[in-house]
Structures are given as C-alpha cells and as structure tokens.
Amino acid sequence: MVLCGDTSNIQIFAGTANTIKPFNEWINILDPNLNLHLKQPMTTEAWVAKHPSKNDPITSVELYTEWGKRIVSFFGARKEGDNELTAWSELTGELK
C-alpha cells in the first residue's frame, strides 16, 4: 500500500506495482491505477517505522526530504484488523 501527498491531498493505492521504470534520477511507477514519480536526490532519509494497532504493530517504510517532510509511506497490504503479512515483516526487517 502506498500513501503520498501533501497537506491538502493524499493518494492511497493498494495493490501491486507492475511497471517500474527508472529514468535518470527518477523512479517511475506507471500503472493504470498508480502513477508515481520519486526523484531520488530529494530522498535523504528512509525509515522503517512501527505503528501501534489493535493487534501487532504495523510496519511502514517512509521516505523523507532533507527538511524532514515525508514524501511517501509504503505499507504491506492487509485487511482491517488483520496482522501484517509475514513476507512484509520479513522484508522490512532486512532493511538497515
């Protein structure tokens, strides 16, 4: 799941990104339901965060600018009330 936006608008996408096309300093996701362009030099920090929930914590990968503004958050897809998928927990656990 992807959450990105600014103070007045947030785009949320849940699904699989299939068309990922790096070009120069950009990473582009060009799918019919998700059109996302990440400018790599703008991303100066990346964090794995644990958010409390009714069940187990929910893990996100968050990208930030040098000014501390969040650019995008990635979450493992899950149904409301369910724990996150083991594959997502394992993947984010490998990030350093």
pLDDT of residue 26: 96
Boundaries of domain holding 55: 2-93
Sheet holding 2-5, edge to edge: 10-13, 2-5, 70-75, 58-64, 45-51
Report pTM. 0.87
Write out the E strands in the chain: 2-5, 10-13, 20-23, 26-31, 34-39, 45-51, 58-64, 70-75
CATH of the domain at 17: 3.40.1570.10
Domain tally for the chain? 1
Residue 79: phi and psi, rounded to 5, are -90, 150
Q: pLDDT for 43-87, tens place per residue?
A: 999 999 999 988 888 999 999 999 999 999 999 988 888 889 999
